[in-house]
């Protein structure tokens, strides 16, 4: 019989609900515990997902002997502290993106995972969608000739609330860490780590980046233009162009169901469809289960090095913009 992986959910916000819904549909997953800052919230969440153990602290959750892996779903500023808490208690960890606030935090988290010999992964759900994997294999197989350029954007018009995690610097607010990470990770998947990276940012009333444009140049002379905004509803699509055509990842490119290959003398379009099962987080969750079942401490699809590279890029961009979060030196 396939091994059942026992999950503990740390934090009871929006994405914890989506991820737990996905886990409930997987035969190899069981949610055995939830931890919240308050008992009331833990109880409410546990009632929705039929979870036995409900804790009013994250400490109690990570010390539950029945839990194999902790899903960290708190605001960005807590990912470092919460992941270390879980790893040091001997748990495997799947931590929401971005893995931390900066490279110093990410390095410490990876070092701890290595020392404790525990699985640790940044929850970059985009990498696990069938459409994204198909796009990668099409580009690698030469479907658009030699890949040269890439464009990707992620934007939505958020209601301004200085206290919310999107705008509050105390919670790591801003477009880059929350949604800009997706275009960056998308380009990383196809072109690797850039040699040159620069960006423009519009900083809002709370001092965080509300709208950004990034340009990047890669080792093989590929280039990318990547945008993210909390101020406009954008198409949220991606295009990879090559010497013999281009690939369009239809909206929303970070959880796509459709890609088009436009190629040939007349640039004819072929549409490929990949209907998502459930809410789409099942692919990432199943990948983590497969990694744990086979005894891995890191994913080969979302490796520690990819997380390091992504965070180094975001450090570089924030340094260009003079954007530091409270407590950062
Ligand atoms: N992969 C994806 O598609 C995706 C989508 C959305 C968000 N995310 C990531 O998931 C993380 C959480 O996002 P979310 O939208 O779920 O946020 P959210 O709805 O605000 O939930 C965050 C949860 O963290 C806990 N928390 C602990 N300290 C907190 C504090 N000082 N302020 C607010 N909440 C605090 C709370 O749970 P308790 O009260 O139970 O402790 C809260 O419900 C973010 O890092 C984000 O980047 C990922």
- Radius of gyration, alpha carbons of the chain: 20
Token pair in block for residue 282: 């099942």
Averaged pLDDT, 258-282? 95
Backbone torsions φ then ψ of 316, nearest 5 degrees: -60, -45
CATH 3.40.50.720 boundaries in the chain: 5-126
The topology (CATH level 3) of 130-275+310-321 is Dihydrodipicolinate Reductase; domain 2 (3.30.360)
* Whole-angstrom distance, CA of residue 271 vs CA of residue 144: 14
> What is the DSSP pairing of strand 29-35 with strand 53-55?
parallel
Token pair in block for residue 191: 């072109």
| Sign (positive or negative) of CA dihedral 34, 65, 299, 132 | negative
**265 pLDDT band (50/70/90 cuts)?**
confident
Neighbouring residues of 115: CB distance < 8 A, sequence distance ≥ 6: none
Averaged pLDDT, 61-88? 98
**1 pLDDT band (50/70/90 cuts)?**
low
State the pLDDT at residue 2: 80
- Residue closest via CA to ligand 1's atom 30 equals 75
Token pair in block for residue 73: 């779903």
**85, 120 Cβ separation under 8 angstroms:** no
- What proportion of the chain, given as a percentage, has pLDDT over 70? 100
Query: Which residue carries 């890669």 as its tokens?
Result: 218
Distance 73 CA to ligand 1 centre (A): 5
Q: Does ligand 1 come within 6 angstroms of the Cβ of 33?
A: no
Token pair in block for residue 77: 């500023």
- Residue closest via CA to ligand 1's atom 9 equals 96
CB atoms within 10 A of CB 250: 18
Backbone torsions φ then ψ of 150, nearest 5 degrees: -145, 140
N-to-C CA span, the chain: 51
Query: Which residue carries 């690698």 as its tokens?
Result: 140
* Whole-angstrom distance, CA of residue 117 vs CA of residue 99: 18
Query: Which residue carries 């929350």 as its tokens?
Result: 178
Q: Does ligand 1 come within 6 angstroms of the Cβ of 188?
A: no
* Whole-angstrom distance, CA of residue 49 vs CA of residue 24: 8
Beta partners for residue 223, in sequence order? 149, 217
Neighbouring residues of 292: CB distance < 8 A, sequence distance ≥ 6: 3, 5, 68, 69, 92, 119
Distance 104 CA to ligand 1 centre (A): 22
Mutate to test the pocket of ligand 1, among 8, 15, 94, 307 (most ligand atoms within 8 A of CB): 15
pLDDT at 329 over 80: no
pLDDT at 247 over 90: yes
**94 pLDDT band (50/70/90 cuts)?**
very high
Token pair in block for residue 277: 């099962």
CB atoms within 10 A of CB 178: 22
- Residue closest via CA to ligand 1's atom 26 equals 74
Query: Is the omega angle on the peptide bond into residue 26 within 30 degrees of 0, that is, cis?
Result: no
* Whole-angstrom distance, CA of residue 34 vs CA of residue 45: 8
Distance 22 CA to ligand 1 centre (A): 17
Distance 246 CA to ligand 1 centre (A): 36
Distance 166 CA to ligand 1 centre (A): 10
Segment 11-45, tens digit of pLDDT = 999 999 999 999 999 999 999 999 999 999 999 99
Positions of E strands within the chain: 5-10, 29-35, 53-55, 69-72, 92-96, 120-123, 147-155, 196-203, 209-217, 223-229, 238-242, 245-249, 258-263, 268-273
Q: Does ligand 1 come within 6 angstroms of the Cβ of 113?
A: no
**175, 209 Cβ separation under 8 angstroms:** yes
Angle between helices 14-24 and 39-49 in degrees, nearest 10: 30
pLDDT at 272 over 70: yes
**185 pLDDT band (50/70/90 cuts)?**
very high
Averaged pLDDT, 57-79? 98
Averaged pLDDT, 80-99? 98
* Whole-angstrom distance, CA of residue 185 vs CA of residue 309: 9
Q: What is the CATH number of domain 5-126?
A: 3.40.50.720
pLDDT at 285 over 80: yes
CATH 3.30.360.10 boundaries in the chain: 130-275+310-321
Neighbouring residues of 159: CB distance < 8 A, sequence distance ≥ 6: none
pLDDT at 258 over 90: yes
Distance 284 CA to ligand 1 centre (A): 18
State the pLDDT at residue 277: 84
State the pLDDT at residue 243: 96
Average model confidence (pLDDT) across the chain: 97
């Amino acid at each position: 019989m396939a091994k059942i992986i026992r999950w503990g959910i740390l934090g009871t916000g929006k994405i914890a609900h989506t991820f737990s819904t996905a886990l409930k549909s997987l035969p190899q997953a069981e949610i055995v515990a939830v931890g919240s800052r308050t008992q009331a919230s833990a109880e409410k969440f546990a009632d929705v997902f039929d979870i036995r153990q409900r804790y009013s602290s994250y400490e109690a959750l990570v010390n539950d002997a029945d839990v194999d892996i902790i899903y960290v779903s708190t605001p960005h500023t807590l990912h470092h502290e919460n992941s270390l808490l879980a790893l040091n208690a001997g748990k495997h960890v799947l931590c929401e993106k971005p893995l931390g606030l900066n490279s110093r935090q990410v390095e410490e988290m990876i070092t701890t995972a290595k020392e404790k010999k525990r699985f640790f992964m940044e929850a970059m759900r985009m990498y696990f969608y069938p459409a994204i994997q198909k796009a990668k294999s099409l580009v690698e197989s030469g479907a658009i000739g030699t890949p040269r350029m890439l464009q990707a954007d992620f934007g939505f018009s958020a209601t301004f609330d200085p206290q919310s995690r999107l705008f509050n610097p105390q919670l790591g607010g801003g477009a880059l860490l929350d949604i800009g990470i997706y275009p960056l990770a998308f380009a990383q998947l196809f072109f690797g780590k850039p040699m040159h990276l620069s960006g423009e940012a519009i900083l809002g009333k709370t001092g965080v980046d509300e709208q950004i444009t990034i340009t990047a140049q890669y080792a093989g002379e590929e280039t990318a233009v990547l945008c993210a905004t909390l101020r406009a509803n954008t198409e949220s699509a991606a295009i990879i162009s090559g010497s013999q055509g281009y690939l369009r990842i239809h909206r929303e490119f970070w959880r796509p169901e459709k890609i088009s290959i436009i190629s040939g003398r007349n640039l004819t379009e072929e549409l490929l469809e990949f209907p998502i099962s459930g809410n789409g987080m099942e692919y990432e969750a199943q990948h983590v289960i497969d990694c744990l079942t086979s005894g891995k401490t890191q994913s080969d699809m979302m490796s520690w090095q990819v997380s390091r590279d992504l965070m180094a890029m975001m450090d570089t961009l924030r340094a260009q913009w003079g954007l530091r979060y409270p407590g950062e030196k």
